[in-house]
A and B are shown apart, each in its own frame.
Chain A
Amino acid sequence: MNLEASTQQLSYIANQASDARVNIELETEGMTLNLGPQHPATHGTLRIIVRLDGEQVVSAEPVMGYMHRGYEKLTEVRTYPQVTTLVNRIDWLGSFANEVPFILAAERLMEVEAPPRAQWIRTALFELSRIANVVLFLGDMAVQLGATTPVFYAFRDREFVLNQIESVTGGRFHPNFDRIGGIKDDLPKGWIQETKDVLARIHSFCDEMQDLVVGNEIFQTRTRGIGIIPADVGLSYGLSGANIRSSGVDWDLRRDGGVGLIHDQLDWKVWTHPDGDSFARYWVRLQEVRESCKMVDQILDGIPSGPIMAKVPRIIKVPPGEAYVETENPLGVMGYYIVSKGDLVPYRVKIRSASFNNVSITPWVLKGVYVPDVISILASLYFILGDIDR
Chain B
Amino acid sequence: MTIFNLAIELAYWQQTIIRSVLGLVAVLLPAGTLVYLYLFKMMSFMQSRLGPMEAGPYGSLQLLAEVGKFLQKEDLFPKAADRVVFKAAPFVVLASTFLLVLVLPAGPDAWFINIDTGVFLALAVSSISVIGILMAGWGSASKYSLIGGLRAAGQLVAYELPLVLAVMGVVIQAGTLNVQEIVFAQANGEIFGWGGIGNPFIITQFLGFMIFLVAIQAELTQPPFDMPVAESEIVTGYLTEYTGMRFLLFFIGEFATAGIFSALAATFFLGGWYIPGLDPTDNLFNLIGPLVLVGKMLLVSFLIFWFRFTYPRFREDQLQQLAWKVLVPLSLVNIVATGILKVAF
Contacts and interface: CB of A to CB of B under 8 A. Distances in A.
Contacts of A148: 43, 47, 223, 309
Interface centre among A31, A148, A216, A373 (most CB of B within 10 A): A148
A92 interface: no
Nearest to A371: B233
B47 A146 contact: no
Given A146-B313, A149-B46, 4 more contacts: A152-B49, A216-B311, A216-B312, A222-B314
Contacts of B47: 148-149, 152-153
A234 to B, nearest CB: 24
A56 to B, nearest CB: 10
B72 interface: no
B312 A146 contact: yes
A216 B232 CA distance: 19
A370 B316 contact: yes
Contact of A146 (B49, B224, B235): B224
Given A41-B233, A146-B230, A156-B48, A372 B315 contact: yes
Contacts of B2: none
Interface centre among A143, A145, A146 (most CB of B within 10 A): A146
Interface of A: 31, 33, 39-41, 55, 142-149, 152-153, 156, 212-213, 216, 218-219, 221-222, 370-375
B143 A31 contact: yes
**Minimum-distance CB pairs A-B, first 5:** A146-B313, A145-B312, A152-B47, A147-B312, A41-B232
Interface in B140-154: 143, 147
Contacts of B235: 39-40
Interface string B230-255: 11111100000000000000000000
Interface of B: 43, 46-49, 143, 147, 223-224, 226-227, 230-235, 309-318
A152 B48 CA distance: 7
A153 B48 CA distance: 7
B312 A40 contact: no
A370 B315 CA distance: 9
Contacts of A219: 312
A146 B310 CA distance: 9
Contacts of A156: 48
Given A31-B143, A147-B223, A372-B233, A221 B314 contact: yes
B87 to A, nearest CB: 26
Interface centre among B223, B313, B318 (most CB of A within 10 A): B313
Nearest to A151: B47
A116 B232 CA distance: 46
B317 A370 contact: yes
Interface centre among B223, B230, B231, B315 (most CB of A within 10 A): B315
A142 B312 contact: yes
A375 B232 contact: yes
A213 B310 CA distance: 9
Contact of B309 (A149, A213, A218): A149
Contacts of B317: 370
A375 B233 CA distance: 6
Contacts of A221: 314-315, 318
Contacts of B309: 148-149
26 contacts: A31-B143, A33-B143, A39-B235, A40-B232, A41-B233, A142-B312, A145-B312, A146-B230, A146-B312, A147-B313, A149-B309, A152-B47, A152-B49, A156-B48, A212-B310, A216-B312, A218-B311, A218-B313, A221-B314, A221-B315, A221-B318, A370-B315, A370-B316, A370-B317, A371-B147, A375-B233
B314 A149 contact: no
Interface centre among A149, A221, A375 (most CB of B within 10 A): A149
A319 B197 CA distance: 90
Contacts of A143: 232
A146 B311 contact: yes
Interface centre among B232, B314, B318 (most CB of A within 10 A): B232
Contact of A145 (B46, B147, B313): B313
A150 to B, nearest CB: 9
Nearest to A373: B315
Nearest to B225: A146
A146 B49 CA distance: 19
Contact of A144 (B143, B224, B232): B232
A145 B313 CA distance: 6
Contact of A372 (B224, B311, B316): B316
B143 A374 contact: no
A87 B82 CA distance: 49
Contacts of B315: 221-222, 370, 372-373
Contacts of B49: 152
A143 to B, nearest CB: 7
A221 B235 CA distance: 22
Contacts of A216: 311-312
A19 to B, nearest CB: 15
Contacts of B43: 148
Contacts of A41: 232-233
B233 A374 contact: yes
Contacts of A374: 233
A142 B223 CA distance: 12
Contacts of B230: 146, 372, 375
Nearest to B144: A33
Contact of A371 (B226, B234, B310, B318): B234
A218 B312 contact: yes
Contacts of B46: 149
A55 B316 contact: yes
Given A143-B232, A146-B226, A375-B233, A222 B312 contact: yes
